[in-house]
Structure 1
Amino acid sequence: MLDQSIKTQLSAYLTKIIRPVSIRVNLDNSDKSTELVELAREIAGMSDQISLHETQLDTERAPLMSIQPANEEAARVAFAGIPMGHEFTSLVLALLQAGGHPAKEEQAILDQILLLEGEIKLETYISLSCQNCPEVVQALNLMSVLNPNISHTMIDGALFPKEVEERNILAVPAVFANGELFGQGRMTLAEIVNKLDTGAEKKQAEALSKKEAYEVLVVGGGPAGSAAAIYAARKGIRTGVVAERFGGQVSDTMAIENFISVKATDGPKLVANLEQHVLDYDVDLLKTQRAANIVSAQESDSGLVEVTLESGAVLKSRSVILATGARWREMNVPGEAEYKGKGVAYCPHCDGPLFKGKKVAVIGGGNSGIEAAIDLAGIVDHVTVLEFSDVLRADEVLLQKARSLSNVTIIKNAATTEVLGDGARVNGLTYTDRLTGDSHKVVLAGIFVQIGLLPNTDFLKGRVDLSDRGEIEIDARGQTSMPGVFAAGDVTTTPYKQIIIAMGAGATAALGAFDHLIRTSVPVTEAEEAVA
């Protein structure tokens, strides 16, 4: 089942196991059970530290693979399905962690996991094509390995469609805690732990507010923010990065083929490299934190720029670089908010497999929309592309491919007017023909919105000058209308929203901030005033 190159790599990883591990598989008579036991046997045969036990129990899901230290009676990590594709790494990490290999996480969050109380039974529904799912699965697996009160099962929705139907799962990853929906979409380990640890936010806010002032504080951890942090840190100045989710939109990008000098990569891999590069320098990286307000040095009591976070923490800095990026643009029509995650989706790679054999729509005829239609056409029964304009903006090569597919229909001059549903899930939409004014109804099960991005500037309104599209207005050095505050990347008026352009803009903003610092005086602290 595994090719030789993967076996070679896996064998090397398995040498890191320092205590015996038990793999247990529960099987039925399906082809997938045959695949799973073949995979389990191959893995067990690669290490003397791994034992395999095969069962057929009607009380458990099948096929199911559980992993546990050999000296423990009950497994706390399980995979209901075949953990291949994006989830193969989750399987490898589960083996290593159950085998005593330490996790590469901050000790503070590991300690926080150990202190979580009460039995927590976690289940995550995934699709093997979802690039966001592994991060969630790996986080929950690690929590289960560390804390005996926690257990976690990854469930491939494609193999358990009855459960998906009963639980009305239309977006992945979908996490259930003790039978109740806990969260959907990408979540980091810190976000999950903080959500379970109800007192964490207040304690973190108090600790963050006590931090020493920075010379450059970067708000945002995408390509622009990463480049800004690296360029600032290389100047030898105190640099901090605060980010809700490191990597931003790039984390959700599959194929990247225009990053100069790298022929091909993917978003998660690029994000991992960016984070490692940032941490190679003396940068204070604060993740899972979102900015809520900014106050200029002229307005603040400290004489420094102050950034307030949603947790209530206040960070101070002599200069700030705003690199908060952008988010998916919504249609803003009746029914969209009500059915978000219930048929309205924004990631075709993640959620497409949940609509296998069904009819779906893609909203938007740009590159993202047409690429989504092509991808979905291989999974679903039919794709209807609705484009508001009379012109399709996608590259011609993509349009030719889409038009060659018999189950793709493209409709131009179509203004989506409403998302329809039965209260639990989407069952259609209506659109108006902009040429005739006629209204049409399309019966379908899913709607994938691909109509561009909105800048994340809601917290900046009235604070810095914004364009009529909500983007931060900057000059050639990245300077905003607020002294000492710079901006870079997709959140700004820079016309082309590309990874490589955002990185260059981040470097520009960092150099602009450094130039600002060397030309302005350092504020006198209260302690210094008392001494004087």
Structure 2
Amino acid sequence: MGLLREEDKKYLREEFEKILKDRVRLLLFSSEDEHCIYCKDTRQLLEEVAELSDKIELEVYDVKSDEAKERGVEYAPTIILTDESDELDSRVKFTGIPSGYEFTTLIKDIMFVSTRQLEISDATIQTLQDVKSNLKIEVYVTPSCPYCPRAVLVAHQFAMVSEKIVAEMVESLEFPSLADKWGVMGVPHTVIKNLDKGNVVQFVGAYPETHVINFVKDADEGKEVDMR
């Protein structure tokens, strides 16, 4: 039995046909371990999505493979979205199944990567060119959170623009140990780590991009900010 309804498949197939331009690669890092509760469903979901367009290519790897090590993947399931030439490398990630409201995030990300047409402003794009530190943005979400996709999409678009930024959706119910590390109580909860200087900026809520870019600048400059 499919995870996507037939009417949803029909709609997405038509949208992909109209919108997608360049090929998009979905890299799934999975595991046969019985403790990976959502690995099977994540693979099925991505297979169903990939079947809707010849512009979407699904590649499946074991989470313990060399490919996973090279791309810095530690947890299963993890999804990396990249372009055909892999210019995006491993900068756009989902840790956990993109279900519920986050399925929309997956679909919009595919469209962003394929068309290279983003929703963030030119001013934000220009500011992102000035980021000097290596940053990792983690956005902790739950499938039932209607505000979380907005936060994840902003972070993912930042990573699509800047080679200095990795942006990762983390499903906090699936990975409670990761969420507990940052004291996640409400979602979306965003953690921006400066991998060069060691400082952290974190906040809760789906802020507009004009606010999020300021948080990125704070992180880039080495500031510690905690707005939980």
Structure with bigger gyration radius: 1
TM-score, length-scaled by structure 2: 0.81
The equivalent residue for 1:184 is 204
Q: Deviations over 1:298-347 (max 9, x none)?
A: xxxxxxxxxxxxxxxxxxxxxxxxxxxxxxxxxxxxxxxxxx95xxxxxx
The higher-RCO structure (CA 8 Å, 6+ apart) is 2
The equivalent residue for 1:170 is 185
Displacement of 1:94 in angstroms is 0.8
**Closer/same/farther in 2, CA of residues 104 and 166 from structure 1, 3 Å limit:** closer
The equivalent residue for 1:63 is 77
Q: Show structure 2 runs of 5+ residues with no match.
A: 65-72, 195-199, 219-226
Q: Within 5 Å, which residues of 2 pair with 1:32-181?
A: 32-58=38-64, 59-72=73-86, 74-178=89-193, 180-181=200-201
> Using the alignment, how far apart are the partners of 1:171 and 1:79 within structure 2?
19
The one-letter amino acid paired with 1:68 is T
The equivalent residue for 2:11 is 9
> Using the alignment, how far apart are the partners of 1:103 and 1:61 within structure 2?
28
The one-letter amino acid paired with 1:103 is L
Are the aligned partners of 2:139 and 2:189 in contact in 1 as well (CA < 8 Å)? Answer: yes
Displacement of 1:90 in angstroms is 1.0
The one-letter amino acid paired with 2:128 is I
The equivalent residue for 1:261 is none
Are the aligned partners of 2:80 and 2:90 in contact in 1 as well (CA < 8 Å)? Answer: yes
SS class of match (2:101): helix
> Using the alignment, how far apart are the partners of 2:121 and 2:143 within structure 1?
28
The one-letter amino acid paired with 1:64 is T
The one-letter amino acid paired with 2:112 is Q
The one-letter amino acid paired with 1:34 is K
> Using the alignment, how far apart are the partners of 1:99 and 1:139 within structure 2?
17
Displacement of 1:108 in angstroms is 2.1
SS class of match (1:178): strand
Displacement of 1:160 in angstroms is 0.4
Displacement of 1:150 in angstroms is 1.0
SS class of match (2:169): strand
> Using the alignment, how far apart are the partners of 2:95 and 2:37 within structure 1?
14
The runs of 4+ residues in structure 1 deviating greater than 4 Å are none
> Using the alignment, how far apart are the partners of 2:15 and 2:129 within structure 1?
26
- Asked if residue 27 in structure 1 is aligned to residue 30 in structure 2, the reply is yes
The equivalent residue for 1:396 is none
Displacement of 1:96 in angstroms is 0.8
Give the % identical residues: 22
TM-score, length-scaled by structure 1: 0.36
Are the aligned partners of 2:29 and 2:62 in contact in 1 as well (CA < 8 Å)? Answer: yes
SS class of match (2:206): coil
Are the aligned partners of 1:174 and 1:181 in contact in 2 as well (CA < 8 Å)? Answer: no
> Using the alignment, how far apart are the partners of 2:201 and 2:186 within structure 1?
12
Q: Deviations over 1:270-313 (max 9, x none)?
A: xxxxxxxxxxxxxxxxxxxxxxxxxxxxxxxxxxxxxxxxxxxx
The one-letter amino acid paired with 1:115 is D
Higher helix share goes to which structure?
Answer: 2
SS class of match (1:177): strand
> Using the alignment, how far apart are the partners of 2:133 and 2:95 within structure 1?
24
Are the aligned partners of 1:123 and 1:176 in contact in 2 as well (CA < 8 Å)? Answer: yes
Q: Show structure 1 runs of 5+ residues with no match.
A: 199-339, 342-532
The one-letter amino acid paired with 1:27 is S
Displacement of 1:181 in angstroms is 4.3
> Using the alignment, how far apart are the partners of 2:110 and 2:204 within structure 1?
26
**Closer/same/farther in 2, CA of residues 163 and 196 from structure 1, 3 Å limit:** closer
> Using the alignment, how far apart are the partners of 2:148 and 2:26 within structure 1?
22
> Using the alignment, how far apart are the partners of 1:104 and 1:163 within structure 2?
29
Are the aligned partners of 2:120 and 2:157 in contact in 1 as well (CA < 8 Å)? Answer: no
> Using the alignment, how far apart are the partners of 1:31 and 1:38 within structure 2?
13
SS class of match (2:115): coil
> Using the alignment, how far apart are the partners of 2:216 and 2:175 within structure 1?
27
The one-letter amino acid paired with 2:49 is I
**Closer/same/farther in 2, CA of residues 109 and 181 from structure 1, 3 Å limit:** closer
Are the aligned partners of 2:139 and 2:169 in contact in 1 as well (CA < 8 Å)? Answer: yes
Are the aligned partners of 1:77 and 1:152 in contact in 2 as well (CA < 8 Å)? Answer: yes
Q: Within 5 Å, which residues of 2 pair with 1:12-411?
A: 12-15=14-17, 16-28=19-31, 29=33, 30-58=36-64, 59-72=73-86, 74-178=89-193, 180-197=200-217, 341=228
Are the aligned partners of 2:120 and 2:154 in contact in 1 as well (CA < 8 Å)? Answer: no
**Closer/same/farther in 2, CA of residues 101 and 7 from structure 1, 3 Å limit:** farther
Are the aligned partners of 1:126 and 1:156 in contact in 2 as well (CA < 8 Å)? Answer: yes
Q: Deviations over 1:40-99 (max 9, x none)?
A: 111111111111111112352111111111211622111111212111221111111111
The one-letter amino acid paired with 1:42 is E
> Using the alignment, how far apart are the partners of 1:133 and 1:100 within structure 2?
23
SS class of match (2:21): coil
